[in-house]
Structure 1
Amino acid sequence: ALLREQVRPLLDATQTLEHEHQQHSEIVPMLAMQLPELMASLIAGVPSGDRAPAQARELEARLTARAMRMLLGLLRLAVTRRTPAYDPAVLDAYVPEVLELAKLIHSARQPD
């Protein structure tokens, strides 16, 4: 909750900017909502004691899930040629590399 409150001024300012300039970004609020949760997991997830190995696996799973939600959210926004962002081309430079990596992942995951 503390981390979300620290991001609140950014969200308020961007909301005002969007209203005044008739602009909209789906990227800024998505990341601003996901990053505090990611940070909270990092801060609260220090493995210790007898359960440290299990805690480390749980932390890894939580961090991976949150990071993948952010990645998948960005990829969904890249589907259209006009990304709902202040700069509609903001994701364009990354698409070729994402496609290349997706092909490599697909090839590597094929059964032998």
Structure 2
Amino acid sequence: MEEMDVQQLGENIVKVLKTIYDPEIPVDIYELGLIYDVFVNETSDVKILMTLTSPNCPVAETLPMEVEEKIKSIDEVKGVEVELTFDPPWSQDLMSEEAKLELGML
């Protein structure tokens, strides 16, 4: 796989992540800053490091599964691993300007 393909796949993954919303906040999980990292290797295996707004988040079980399912649905993706972390814990500082604007925080 060429370097450009990895980058393109990464961009496609971000597009898909932007279609997944936190059920309690009308902002997608990418803009919310819940996605800490997206790794794509030459064999099109994807690893996503993500967090939740809190460890007791009602979607703690379902949101990572939704992320995995939606990323798996991208044709070029071979495998997906979603790792949940609370280190560092999520804070509003991780939100994009767009998300803050959407939530009336700016």
Per the normalisation by structure 2, the TM-score is 0.24
Q: Which has the higher strand share?
A: 2
Q: Which has the higher helix share?
A: 1
Per the normalisation by structure 1, the TM-score is 0.23
Q: Which has the higher contact order (CA 8 A, sep 6+)?
A: 2
